[in-house]
Homo-oligomer: A and B are copies of this chain.
Amino acid sequence: MQAKTERQQAMTDVRRALVLDAARAVFEKLGIEGASIREIARAAGYTPGAIYFYYDSKEAIYGALLAESLERLNDKVAQAGTGALDPAAQLEAKASAWFDFYADNPRELDLGFYLVQGMRPRGLNATLNEQLNSRLHDALQPCEAALQALGLTGEAALRETTALFAHGVGLLLLKHTGRIRMFGQDATLLFDAYVIGLLERVRQRLI
């Protein structure tokens, strides 16, 4: 029994990523209900049993999927508004970045918020949960920083970031569940309006 060579480890990582890709594809196509281990294995070109070599359980896959989704979100946010100099433009760019990320990929929102009941309590242990929370926070940090740069106290910036986040999430939910049609409104327009209103209030020292 020899230790695993670097090369072997690298191969394992590649295959693990392949399984995750398959899981994401299945998840996107069939939703959480259709995303069985069978289906994921099929998409990955494996038999169901093989999946357990890479992930301990279905929920571990879910956790990894979520973690990876948050990385991509952070990438998107990091890339956004790099050219913008003033904080206001920064805020708009960063906020739009995460909003659009979820607007374009509804399933990632499901993932990101544990919307799926059955998944909530199990599987995601406290440590992982905190890591994920932290990465989500990271994605919002640029907005918070921009608000501080615009003159808000740390406390106020955090509060407004939370509210901004909630507003976006609410709109996304209304959008994805089709409820927003009931009001004849458009989620993106409303989100942009909220950001503009927020900047206006900041400018007028109302916050």
Interface residues, chain A, CB within 8 Å of chain B? 1, 31-34, 45-46, 110, 113-118, 120, 133, 136-137, 158-159, 161-163, 165-171, 173-174, 177, 179-180, 182-185, 187, 190, 193-194, 197, 200-201, 206
Q: Label chain A's interface by main secondary structure.
A: helix
Question: Does A194 lie within 8 Å of B116, measured CB to CB?
Answer: no
Given A182-B136, A185-B159, answer yes or no on A197-B190 (Cβ-Cβ < 8 Å): no
Question: Does A184 lie within 8 Å of B170, measured CB to CB?
Answer: no
CA distance A163 to B163 in the complex (A): 12
**How many Å from the CB of A1 to the closest CB on chain B?**
6
Chain B residues with Cβ below 8 Å from A168 are 170
Question: Does B173 lie within 8 Å of A190, measured CB to CB?
Answer: no
